[in-house]
Amino acid sequence: MSIEHVLPVSLLRGIRRTPGKHRADRREMTELILIRHGQASFGSSHYDRLSDRGRQQAQALKNHWQRIGWRFDRTISGTLERQLDTAKLASHAPALIVQDNAFDEYCAQTLLHHHGGPPPFETPSPRDARHFHLQLEGALRGWIKASSHTSSPEPWPHFNGRVNDQLHQLARTADVDERLAVFTSAGVIACAVASVLNLGTEGFLALNRRLWNASVTHLAYGRSGFSLLGFNDVGALRLASPELVTYR
């Protein structure tokens, strides 16, 4: 998916682009593949559990990667249930997955409580999704604006720092020809891409609201730092079944 399809033109000025490369050409870069978790159980009392469709999405990724011959030299996952279960279902070697809480998502309910008033729904139903997202967007803006002065347990600067610091640490310590998979969430991916493209907090918010479930974002790391090769790709899901393309 072209990034022009998901970002306003005003946010695209000055973006550094690097052409994609096949695995045989990867001698001078490390690849980091950021995968958003499959569909969780929005509207239930246990959101963090993958839905049946979320499990199907993870399996579709695994099948697609097997078809195209993609293998990951290392697989990392956040510690949240939906992240880890997506990694296990999509991975060819689930026993080797390394958990890292640097890739855990912000807590939406906590942000709504501290920066958006009381959560609008105790267990929002699918028909409440639009209202929920509007409330969450307002809470995210309040969280970012409060910076280190927030009453939330994790301030925005800490979240932003832990995500990008750990991505840089992974990239710097990897071999130049390694391909790493990181199973995580929309906020983490949006934070990373906004940093790579220098889009600021408005860019983070724009990216965060557009990420599909089980989408693939492709970063490369070389001598000049990070470059974005692909964003929010759901081609594997579309090939398996258009019904697997979901947002919430």
91 shares its domain with 147: no
99 shares its domain with 80: yes
Coil, strand or helix at 148: helix
218 shares its domain with 98: yes
84 shares its domain with 204: yes
User: What pLDDT shows up at residue 20?
Assistant: 40
Which residues span the domain enclosing 132? 107-153
Does residue 245 contact residue 237 with C-beta atoms inside 8 Å?
A: yes
Domain total of the chain? 2
| Domain C-terminal end among 89, 120, 153 | 153
111 shares its domain with 171: no
12 shares its domain with 30: yes
Place of tokens 């918010």: 205
Give the whole-angstrom CA distance, residue 37 versus residue 189: 11
Each residue's pLDDT tens digit, 36-51: 999 999 877 788 999 9
Angle between helices 129-146 and 108-115 (to 10 degrees): 70
Percent of the chain predicted with pLDDT > 90: 75
Please report which confidence band the pLDDT of residue 126 belongs to, taking 50, 70 and 90 as the band edges.
low
pTM beyond 0.85: the answer is yes
